Chains A and B, each alone.
Chain A
């Protein structure tokens, strides 16, 4: 376990060094995330120019939700997307071999290898939006303050598990880099509370594709709308999702044969 943490630190440091070499890119990427966040806040404001509540969520709660959305999405782009992109590329080119030749978990080596440090800015902006939203909510209890980070971390792990599961299909279908694009589109659904969606989509977003849960639940927790029982279910579900996804990945790996070279 500590070995894996040390490895993570090594990966992160290498990435940071590399990104800082290209300062302009680094800055531009931060500006991009700022524009993206600002336009999304704009979209919420446009909706709220016609109403004061949306399915029981007022503007403050909606902003908290949007902030959570960017926290989760920023986490995805910072810690997950880079590795998964490389992973799919390696499957396509048949160059995944090296990770399989090492005496360490292939899943770890493949899925947590690369980072995009500049995307931490998106998480920071998400936190800012959450803070702005909170300033419109009267009072936050201790339980909410503790539950929020737990729910958020569950959200991160859920997104990770989803990506692991999705990317497993690459072992069979080879070219599924667009699953990534699909993932981002579904991710988009997280910007509104899951309960605005019609039944079939809501079910999808809270089970098969847990993006809705990953974003909505933390926002519910801090807005004081979730009981401890719900939080308990979230934790259990997250652990289960993680284990199942890892299993699935290992099954996929077994059928990976690599391209001829």
Chain B
């Protein structure tokens, strides 16, 4: 067994927040005394990541993803639990560790607003003590992969959001880290920029063998990049395994899509095969239990005969699975 790059055990983070009520009296009271409350942002999670993996870290807003990434990159002290990244305890913030990893946040910038990125790169070169030849090589490679060219010579404030994100990536990776934590790197970008960033991440991982832990609310990112996903909700781990198995575990049903030559006359009764999800222009989508899917499909083919133009059996869309996981989880919690 290879040494895990990221090894997290029972990691916890509890924030203490002050609460304030509405109204004049309450406000005056809080001027003197405040009420405090604990928020379990991360409530004990355990997982390992092997070298070179790209792992998707999923969960709804407030699940604790960013909090986890911040602990792994040494920005936050955990309330309890252990973590090792590349053999280092992140929150000791040893320079050796900091030089080997990066944290990129889609909604933050580390570049100085008023100066061109190229100048910021030079600063990073000094901070990371990157020798000139390696620095040039890294800049050239990133410039090529991200198509930066003239972008790095404009003041950062004059860049578009997508352009800035590309430059941000370059700044975050200029020291060739072997672990990268990416927190919503495609947030706010248009589809084609998302695709380019995705392609870049995949290519970067292939070329350098860097280990990547990525959060995103865009399932396309996850599908395109991650073979494995870790799902958390309310600070707890719900699922850790292959993306392909997520559906099987989390969504016990499949979707059968049948296209009919005669346009699926409303009279055709399909309810006996499964739950009709939608029906338009001759296409009917049925939801059926996973176990009975083969049998129902066979029956459909059999019964509809020549009327059938096409039929397919698929897992539900990943968004739907995720959504289902979270809503059902909420249901059990509130029940």
Direct contact of A and B (CB under 8 A): yes
Q: Does B127 contact A (CB under 8 A)?
A: yes
How far is it, in angstroms, between the C-alpha of A209 and the C-alpha of B9 when the chains are bound? 46
Among B66, B107, B114, the most chain A Cβ lie within 10 Å of the Cβ of B114
Which of B74, B76, B98, B108 is the one whose CB lies under 8 Å from A257?
B76
Q: Does B99 contact A (CB under 8 A)?
A: yes
Q: Does A49 contact B (CB under 8 A)?
A: no
By the criterion CB–CB under 8 Å, are B108 and A95 in contact?
A: yes
Q: Does A131 contact B (CB under 8 A)?
A: no
Q: Which residues of A contact B218 (CB under 8 A)?
A: none
Which of A6, A100, A261 is the one whose CB lies under 8 Å from B108?
A261
Q: Which residues of B contact A261 (CB under 8 A)?
A: 66, 105, 107-108
By the criterion CB–CB under 8 Å, are B74 and A17 in contact?
A: no
By the criterion CB–CB under 8 Å, are B103 and A97 in contact?
A: yes
Q: Does A7 contact B (CB under 8 A)?
A: yes
User: What per-residue 1/0 map shows which CB atoms of B42-72 lie under 8 Å from chain A?
Assistant: 0000000000000000000000001100100
User: What per-residue 1/0 map shows which CB atoms of B64-103 lie under 8 Å from chain A?
Assistant: 0011001001111100000000000000010110110111
* Known contacts A3-B129, A257-B76, A261-B107; is-contact A102 B98 (Cβ 8 Å): yes
* Known contacts A6-B126, A7-B126, A260-B67; is-contact A100 B119 (Cβ 8 Å): no
Q: Does B334 contact A (CB under 8 A)?
A: no
- In the complex, which residue of chain A has the Cβ closest to the Cβ of B39? A260
- In the complex, which residue of chain A has the Cβ closest to the Cβ of B66? A261
Q: Does A107 contact B (CB under 8 A)?
A: no
How far is it, in angstroms, between the C-alpha of A254 and the C-alpha of B74 when the chains are bound? 11
Q: Does B267 contact A (CB under 8 A)?
A: no
By the criterion CB–CB under 8 Å, are A101 and B73 in contact?
A: yes
Among B70, B96, B107, B124, the most chain A Cβ lie within 10 Å of the Cβ of B70
Within 8 A of B (CB), among A69-120: 95, 97-98, 100-104, 109
Which 10 residue pairs are nearest across A and B when measured between Cβ atoms? A103-B95, A98-B110, A103-B98, A103-B99, A14-B115, A104-B127, A18-B114, A14-B119, A7-B126, A102-B127
A-B contact pairs, 13 of them (CB 8 A): A3-B126, A7-B126, A10-B126, A97-B103, A97-B105, A98-B108, A102-B128, A103-B95, A103-B127, A254-B77, A257-B76, A260-B41, A261-B66
